[in-house]
A and B are shown apart, each in its own frame.
Chain A
Amino acid sequence: MNYRRPAIGAARLAYAVALAVGLLMGVFLLEIPVQLSDSFTEFTAIEGRSLPEIIGAEFYNGSYFRPLRRGLIKIVHDLSAGHYYLAFRGFQAVQVVVLLLLAVRMLRVRSRAGVIALPLGLAILVGLHTFAGAVVEGLPINHFLTILICCAAAVNLAQAQPRPLVDLASIALLVAAMLTIESGLLVWVIFVAAYLVGYHGVSRRGMAALTVCVAVYFVGRFILIGGTAPGLDERSAGFGFSVLNPDELTKRFGSNPVPFYLYNVVSAISCVLFAEPRGGVWAFARNLTRSLPDAWQVVNVVTSTATTFLIGRYAITRLSSWRARAFSEADRFVIMFLVVLPANALFAAAYEKDVIMSPAGLFYAVAAYMVVRELMAREDSPVGATSALTVAPVLLLVIAAGWTIRFIGIHDSLRARALSVRDEWAYYDDWAREQRTDVELNAAQSVIKQHLFEDAVLRAPRVPQVSLGAIDALFDRTQ
């Protein structure tokens, strides 16, 4: 089969594979009750308030600007008719499926090479540590997962035929993303990157409108509303080989936080490329210097480094074409990844958290898929032997095997999460005591609490934790 020939069968097969992967993850997501930490307080915050009231209040939330995040929670909450567990976990499962389908759509799988490379691409997307935070946490709607969908949708819109409707949809998407969480601004970066590499689904006028939206966001948020950026005193953050609490951070960087911000940006980039550091902590390096790293750390670092090497190698071989502004499909996605990565890292400046880098992780997976697809397609073509990009077979095997372990590992983490969330609810009283503000529940909130508690502790069927013996050591259980 000629890989250039459009093949509807290949596209259908690709969607089927993505759907299967999404549904499988959905099964694991549906085993996890609505979590207590960072989630139950969302229920108490929206209880008894109208949607406009909730969204309006979130415009004035100091260093965080996420009006639609809580609004979406309110909508799902009200539609759930009291079936919170099913509604919120079901919503997250649907989000995962939608994300995978959108991701496959933007890959435009039309060839045998594309289909063969797809399982690896999806394994990278799902098995990447930056993606874990988008599914392991409920919150009760994971806004990072919402942003991932927006990012994938943005590429799809950019790839569309230029029409006024595409421009309008792009503006709506950007506004929704920006008002969900700060990293929604990345959607604009993606539109710009896509435009630069030749995806002109959004017109020049549409691009101008998107840019105006971003300007209005900054003016509105920081000048009109008077919002601020998160300070050092808000949360603990990784630095070097350990985690510093807010007091330590303030003591160390209070007079000049710039070095800390730079550290976080560099760490965030390295986290995507090499799976190290994690959360700003160089745990693999620490273990390497003191004793031996854990097996899962070796798997993560080796797999990510090998994949980064593959992408880097491809980029170097294509530099001359890029200078001539001649882009193949793979080039476009590799360039978009190279643009999104540093832009995304800026959002991790205040504190580095793996999941913040999940949009860059999405493009990392897509770029890796494209390079592997290119490799396969060249192998398929008569000029394969003279292709500029050659890769040692063992490298490809290391990458595929490593991502497979990480793919299985994320499901293992989800299963472990089901157990830990149940235990979290069992300790509700301890949790309530440890909150910075008193958790005083009114009657309606108490009913919700009891409902969620029973869902988690008493009613929900317990799924067993699985053990594969010595193989367990290969799975990252910190995610």
Chain B
Amino acid sequence: MSTGLIARCAAPPLAGFLLVAAYVVAEAVGFDGLARPEAATVSEAAAMGHAARALQLIAEGQDVNGSHRVREGLLDHASHELTPIEAAILGRHAELVRLLQRSGARRWDAARTACFARMRLPEVLTDLGASNTAAADQYADVETTIRTCSLQGARL
């Protein structure tokens, strides 16, 4: 049997199996080179839409009403200090906004949060107790949203 035939037929699936197996072993001993970033704060989890991770971090004691860092690359190219509700809005995760409210999120900067919602996620305006008027037809990007809402007087 020709080596070429063997190589064409058996080598790719064998290589695929060995790659997956090697990755599992490497992961077991601590390698995380190919892992997507894991949320370190409840705001990061909210920004990424990772509901279970958000609840896990809240259960571990992180403040659902406090501001937490969101690393660069998760929402846009910059890092931000955001409450989980704000992060969920900027990440456009409406269900997560409601889940955070059910999980104890009570306090937020009303003007700034409503501004975020109008530009990024109008469907949660009523959940936030804000009027559902003047919502944007198309949602803005994160950078524009934060800049615009800051210019409108909200804190950053």
User: Please, which residues of chain B bring their CB within 8 A of the CB of A423?
Assistant: 49-52
Q: Does B32 contact A (CB under 8 A)?
A: yes
Q: Does B102 contact A (CB under 8 A)?
A: yes
A119 touches B52 (CB 8 A): no
B1 touches A120 (CB 8 A): no
Given contacts A20-B21, A393-B4, is CB(A407)–CB(B16) below 8 Å? yes
Q: Is the interface of B mostly helix, strand, loop or mixed?
A: helix
A119 touches B8 (CB 8 A): no
Binary CB contact string for chain A from 18 to 52 against chain B (1 if under 8 A, 0 otherwise): 00110010010000000000000000000000000
B38 touches A427 (CB 8 A): no
| Partner-contacting stretch, out of A138-146, A206-214, A221-229, A455-463 | A455-463
Binary CB contact string for chain B from 1 to 41 against chain A (1 if under 8 A, 0 otherwise): 11011101111111111011101100100001011101000
Given contacts A24-B24, A393-B4, A400-B12, is CB(A457)–CB(B17) below 8 Å? no
A462 touches B34 (CB 8 A): no
Q: Give bound CA distance, A375 to B5, whole Å.
A: 10
User: Please, which residues of chain A bring their CB within 8 A of the CB of B90?
Assistant: none
B56 touches A457 (CB 8 A): yes
Q: Does A467 contact B (CB under 8 A)?
A: yes
A408 touches B24 (CB 8 A): no
Q: Give bound CA distance, A456 to B6, whole Å.
A: 44
User: Please, which residues of chain A bring their CB within 8 A of the CB of B127?
Assistant: none
Q: Does B136 contact A (CB under 8 A)?
A: no
A interface residues, how many (CB within 8 angstroms): 46
B54 touches A122 (CB 8 A): no
Given contacts A24-B24, A457-B55, A458-B55, is CB(A407)–CB(B34) below 8 Å? no
Given contacts A427-B95, A457-B56, A462-B38, is CB(A120)–CB(B10) below 8 Å? yes
Q: Does B130 contact A (CB under 8 A)?
A: no
Residues 194 to 230 of chain A near chain B (Cβ within 8 Å)? none
| Partner-contacting stretch, out of A109-117, A148-156, A317-325, A339-347 | A109-117
Most chain B CB atoms below 10 A, which of A21, A112, A464, A468:
A464
User: Please, which residues of chain B bring their CB within 8 A of the CB of A422?
Assistant: 51-53
Whole-angstrom distance from the CB of A272 to the nearest CB of chain B? 20
Q: Does A260 contact B (CB under 8 A)?
A: no
User: Please, which residues of chain A bring their CB within 8 A of the CB of B110?
Assistant: none
Pick the residue among B13, B21, B36, B54 that contacts A400 (CB under 8 A). B13
B55 touches A404 (CB 8 A): no
B55 touches A426 (CB 8 A): yes
A427 touches B13 (CB 8 A): no
Most chain B CB atoms below 10 A, which of A400, A403, A425, A466:
A400
A404 touches B5 (CB 8 A): no
A116 touches B9 (CB 8 A): yes
User: Please, which residues of chain B bring their CB within 8 A of the CB of A20?
Assistant: 17, 21
Q: Give bound CA distance, A404 to B11, whole Å.
A: 10
B56 touches A119 (CB 8 A): no
Q: Give bound CA distance, A416 to B150, whole Å.
A: 36
Residues 457 to 479 of chain A near chain B (Cβ within 8 Å)? 457-458, 462-468
User: Please, which residues of chain A bring their CB within 8 A of the CB of B35?
Assistant: 464-467
User: Please, which residues of chain A bring their CB within 8 A of the CB of B111?
Assistant: none
Q: B59's closest neighbor in chain A, by CB?
A: A458
Q: Give bound CA distance, A467 to B50, whole Å.
A: 16
User: Please, which residues of chain A bring their CB within 8 A of the CB of B36?
Assistant: 464-467
User: Please, which residues of chain A bring their CB within 8 A of the CB of B95?
Assistant: 427, 430
Identify 10 new A-B residue pairs, CB closer than 8 A, beyond the known A393-B5, A405-B16: A113-B1, A119-B13, A400-B10, A404-B12, A407-B13, A419-B50, A430-B95, A458-B56, A464-B32, A467-B36
Write 20 A-B pairs (CB below 8 A) sorted by A numbering: A20-B21, A21-B17, A24-B21, A116-B10, A119-B14, A120-B13, A123-B17, A375-B5, A393-B4, A396-B5, A404-B15, A411-B20, A427-B99, A456-B52, A458-B56, A464-B36, A464-B38, A466-B23, A466-B36, A467-B35
A contact set with B: CB distance below 8 Å = 20-21, 24, 27, 112-113, 116-117, 119-120, 122-123, 372, 375-376, 379-380, 393, 396-397, 400-401, 403-405, 407-408, 411, 419, 422-423, 425-427, 429-430, 456-458, 462-468
